[in-house]
Amino acid sequence: MEGLFTVFEKFTKFLNGIGAVALTFMMCLTVADVLGRAGGHPVIGTYEIVSLSLTLVIGLGIPRVSLDRAHVQMEFVLEKFSPRNQAIMNTFTRVLCIILFIFAGYHLFGLGNELHTSGDVTPTIRLPYYPLPYAIGVCCFLECFVFVHDIVKIWRVSHD
């Protein structure tokens, strides 16, 4: 199980790295566009590329942020419960999150199929939209694995 988690952890780091590259690209493109506008030659399609890149930055980072426990939590409420009740509440919230992310991932794949079938592209530079819902859908399913791993850790710690 730990070997599988190590591979999973490396994969989420890889996805997070892609998101970091997309963020760097967005910043460079924005600077180039601002300088180009000042010189009368803006970069065509900047708005579209930045919007699509932002989708990758946010979506590809979700599993890594959860693994690192870098998101906002309301632990001050849980601290009032006994360790067993904390484990129950944490498990309950993780199960709800698994259901939510399965639902989101499923519908993102459906959206990707719709966009692929319709041939929908961005208006200015004609980039296809469909790869983005697929990528974010995969990240939603990866997030489910993060929550399953959390549940295993919660109960492993509570029984030690």
Q: How does pLDDT run across 93-147, given as a tens digit for each residue?
A: 999 999 999 999 999 999 999 999 999 999 999 999 999 999 999 999 999 999 9
Name the pLDDT band for 83 (thresholds 50, 70, 90).
confident
Residues 6+ apart with CB under 8 A from 75: none
pTM of the model: 0.86
pLDDT, residue 97, reads: 96
CB 33 within 8 A of CB 46: yes
Measured in degrees and rounded to the nearest 5, phi and psi for residue 73 equal -130, 160
pLDDT, residue 156, reads: 84
CB 65 within 8 A of CB 142: no
